[in-house]
C-alpha cells in the first residue's frame, strides 16, 4: 500500500511568505515517500486535467532518460514507469546520451531534448539532477503550448528538482540559467534508497551550503550589489535545518528514514531558491569553488566530480573564510580598500592569469562576469564603506547565517560525506584545490565573503593559506576522522 505524502506546496509557502512578496511558485505537488512511483501516471493525468489540456485521442508523454541503469526493488525503473504511463498515454522514450560516463547539460544534448519533447502533452524527466535540468529547459524552450512537466527523482543528490533554474555547461563554464518549475516532483523512497550511497552522501554535502551561503547573500545585500535578499527563504531554510542533526548520521549507512528526511530537506531547499528569485540564497563561496573544479576538469577533458560532494568540502572552506573576515574586522578599527584590487586593468590581468591554463574562451567568459561585479562594487562603494562602519550592528545577523567550520566538518563526517578535497572522487590534489579557492571570486558576478576579503586587501597568498589551514583544522577536530570509503 503506497504511503507517500502529497505536499500542497503553496500552503507551505504561505507560511513563510504570508505577504506574498516573493517570486510565485508554479510547483503544484511534491510526492514524497514509499510507493510514490505508483502515482506518476495519475499525477500526469491530474495535471493535464487541471491545465485544461484535453487532446484528441490519447495524450503523448515524452519520457526523458539517460543511459544509467536504475532499479527499484530489483526491477528496471525506466521500464516500470514506461509501462505505467503506457496504460493511459502514448509514450515516447527519449534517451539522452553525450557519450561521456556522466551526462552534462551541453547545447548539443539540450537540442536533442527539445526535439525529443516536441509536441508532447507532458514530459516526465526520470533520473538525476541533469535529467531534471534538461526536462525543465526542454519544456521551457519548445514552441506551442507548454507541456505538463513531472520530475521523477532517483537520488537525493541535489536540490535542483524543485526550482525554476537549470545548470548548463557552455564553453567549459557552468552557468545557472532560467528554465521553468516542474508541475510536480515525485521522490519515491524505494528508488532513492537504491541509489549509489555516494549520490545520497553528495546530497548531504549539497545541504551544507545552507550553513554558509545565506551569509554571502545577506552580505551582498548590505554592500548594495544584490537587492533580492528576503527573510522568507531564510525562514524556509530554518524549517529544513531544524532537525538535521537528528537524521544526518543515518545518511552514512543509508538508513531509509534518514534518506527520506534528506530528500524532503533538499526539496524544500529547492523551493527556497525558486521563491527567492535567485540561486544566491544557497550558492556562495562553496558553489564557486565547486564550479572552479568543474571548469578545470572540463577544460582538461577529465571526469567531473559530484557537485554536492564538492560543495560540502568547500563549505568548510567558506565557513573558514567567514571566520577570517570576522576575526580581522574585530581587531581592525578602520579597514581600507585595496585600490589595486579595484583597478579594472589589474583585475582583468588577474582573471586572465587565473584561467590561462583553461583557454582564452573561459578567461573571456569569466572576465565578462567579473567586470560587471567590479562595476557594481565601484558604484556601491559608499554603501560598502557604510556597511563596514556599521559592522558591529550587522555582525550578529551574519554570524547567525553561517555555522562554524568545525560544526560543518562534523556534520559531513557524521553523514559520511567528503569533508576534504582528498576524499572527493575524482581525487582533487592540494594545488588544484588551492587554485579553486584562491580564484573563486573571479569567475562569477556574485559578491561573497571572498570578494570583501579581496577588496580589503586580505586575500593574499598568506590569507588563502590561513583559510585552508583553518578548514583543515576544522576537519581534524571533527568526529570520525577516517576517510570516506
What is the pLDDT, as a whole number, of residue 392?
A: 96
Residues 6+ apart with CB under 8 A from 176: 165, 166, 167, 168, 279, 283
Residue at 259 is within a domain: no
Sole residue written with cell 559520511:
416
Q: Tell whether 220 and 160 lie within a shared domain.
A: no
| pLDDT for the residue numbered 3 | 47
* Model pLDDT, residue 384: 95
Residues in the chain, pLDDT under 70: 1-9, 54-56, 142-143, 479-485
CATH, residue 117 = 3.40.50.1970
- Per-residue model confidence (pLDDT) at position 13: 80
User: Across-strand partners of 174?
Assistant: 169
Cβ pair 462, 453 in contact under 8 A: no
CA 333 to chain centre: 37
With respect to residue 239, please indicate whether it lies within any of the assigned structural domains: no
Query: Which CATH number do you get for residue 314?
Result: 1.20.1090
Same domain assignment for residues 188 and 217? no
| C-alpha R_g of the chain | 22
Whether residue 333 sits in one domain with residue 285: yes
Examine the domain organization and report whether 218 and 121 are in the same domain: no
Range of the domain at 69: 5-195
Residue 260 lies in a domain: no
- Sign of CA pseudo-dihedral 92, 93, 96, 97: negative
DSSP character string of 3-15: --EEEEHHHHHHH
Q: For residues 289 and 191, state if they share a domain.
A: no
Do 218 and 317 have their domain in common?
A: yes
Q: Are residue 390 and residue 311 in the same domain, yes or no?
A: yes
Query: What is the number of H-type helices and E-type strands within the chain?
Result: 22, 11
Give the number of other CB atoms < 10 A from CB of residue 136.
28
Could you tell me if 156 and 217 lie in one domain? Answer: no
CA nearest neighbour of 89 among 118, 124, 50, 116: 124
Phi, psi of 5 (to 5 degrees): -115, 130
pLDDT in tens, 214-244: 999 999 999 999 999 999 999 899 988 888 9
On whether both 177 and 294 belong to a single domain, the answer is no
What digits encode the pLDDT tens for the residues 268-305? 999 999 999 999 999 999 999 999 999 999 889 898 89
Q: Is residue 254 part of a domain?
A: no
311 vs 104: CA distance, rounded Å: 18
- Indicate whether 236 belongs to any domain: no
Does residue 250 lie in a domain region?
no
Q: Name the domain count of the chain.
A: 2
What's the CA gap between 20 and 480, in Å, rounded?
44
Indicate whether 389 belongs to any domain: yes
**Structural domain contains residue 453:** yes
Are 223 and 187 in the same domain? no
CA distances from 318 to 214, 217, 366 (A): 11, 13, 20
Residue 58 shares a structural domain with residue 180: yes
Note whether 130 and 225 are same-domain residues.
no
Amino acid at each position: 500500500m503506497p504511503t507517500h505524502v502529497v505536499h500542497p506546496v503553496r500552503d507551505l509557502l504561505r507560511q513563510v511568505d504570508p505577504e506574498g512578496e516573493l517570486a510565485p511558485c508554479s510547483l503544484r505537488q511534491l510526492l514524497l515517500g514509499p510507493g510514490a512511483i505508483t502515482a506518476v501516471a495519475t499525477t500526469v493525468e491530474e495535471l493535464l486535467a487541471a491545465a485544461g489540456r484535453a487532446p484528441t485521442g490519447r495524450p503523448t508523454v515524452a519520457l526523458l532518460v539517460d543511459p544509467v541503469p536504475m532499479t527499484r526493488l530489483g526491477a528496471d525503473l525506466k521500464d516500470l514507469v514506461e509501462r505505467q504511463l503506457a496504460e493511459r498515454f502514448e509514450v515516447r522514450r527519449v534517451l539522452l546520451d553525450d557519450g561521456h560516463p556522466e551526462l552534462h547539460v551541453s547545447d548539443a544534448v539540450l537540442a536533442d531534448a527539445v526535439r525529443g519533447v516536441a509536441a508532447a502533452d507532458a514530459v516526465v524527466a526520470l533520473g538525476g539532477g541533469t535529467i531534471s535540468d534538461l526536462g525543465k529547459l526542454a519544456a521551457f524552450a519548445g514552441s506551442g503550448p507548454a507541456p505538463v512537466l513531472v520530475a521523477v527523482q532517483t537520488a537525493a543528490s541535489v536540490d535542483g528538482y524543485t526550482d525554476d533554474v537549470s545548470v548548463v555547461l557552455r564553453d567549459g563554464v557552468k552557468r545557472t540559467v532560467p528554465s521553468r518549475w516542474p508541475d510536480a516532483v515525485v521522490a519515491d523512497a524505494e528508488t532513492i534508497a537504491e541509489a549509489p550511497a555516494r549520490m545520497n552522501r553528495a546530497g548531504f554535502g549539497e545541504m551544507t551550503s545552507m550553513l554558509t551561503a545565506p551569509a554571502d547573500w545577506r552580505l551582498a545585500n548590505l554592500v548594495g550589489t544584490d537587492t533580492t535578499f528576503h527573510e522568507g527563504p531564510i525562514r524556509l531554510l530554518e524549517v529544513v535545518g531544524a532537525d538535521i542533526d537528528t537524521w544526518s548520521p543515518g545518511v552514512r549507512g543509508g538508513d531509509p528514514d534518514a534518506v527520506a528526511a534528506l530528500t524532503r530537506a533538499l526539496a524544500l531547499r529547492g523551493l527556497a531558491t525558486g521563491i527567492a528569485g535567485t540561486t544566491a540564497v544557497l550558492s556562495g563561496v562553496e558553489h564557486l569553488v565547486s564550479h572552479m573544479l568543474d571548469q578545470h576538469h572540463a577544460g582538461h577533458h577529465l571526469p567531473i566530480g559530484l557537485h554536492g560532494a564538492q560543495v560540502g568540502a568547500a563549505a568548510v572552506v567558506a565557513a573558514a573564510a567567514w571566520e577570517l573576515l570576522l576575526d580581522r574586522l574585530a581587531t581592525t578599527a578602520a579597514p581600507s580598500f585595496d585600490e589595486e584590487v579595484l583597478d579594472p586593468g589589474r583585475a582583468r590581468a588577474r582573471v586572465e592569469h587565473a584561467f590561462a591554463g583553461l583557454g582564452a574562451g573561459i578567461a573571456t567568459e569569466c572576465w565578462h562576469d567579473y567586470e560587471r561585479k567590479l562595476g557594481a562594487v565601484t558604484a556601491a562603494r559608499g554603501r560598502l564603506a557604510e556597511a563596514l562602519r556599521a559592522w558591529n550592528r550587522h555582525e550578529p545577523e551574519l554570524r547567525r547565517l553561517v555555522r562554524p567550520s568545525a560544526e560543518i566538518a562534523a556534520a559531513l563526517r557524521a553523514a559520511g560525506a567528503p569533508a576534504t578535497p582528498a576524499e572527493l572522487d575524482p581525487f582533487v590534489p592540494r594545488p588544484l584545490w588551492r587554485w579553486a579557492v584562491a580564484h573563486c571570486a573571479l569567475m562569477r558576478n556574485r559578491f561573497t565573503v571572498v570578494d570583501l576579503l579581496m577588496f580589503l586587501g586580505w586575500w593574499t597568498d598568506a590569507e588563502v593559506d590561513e583559510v585552508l589551514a583553518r578548514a583543515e583544522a576544522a576537519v581534524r577536530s571533527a568526529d570520525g576522522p577516517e576517510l570516506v570509503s
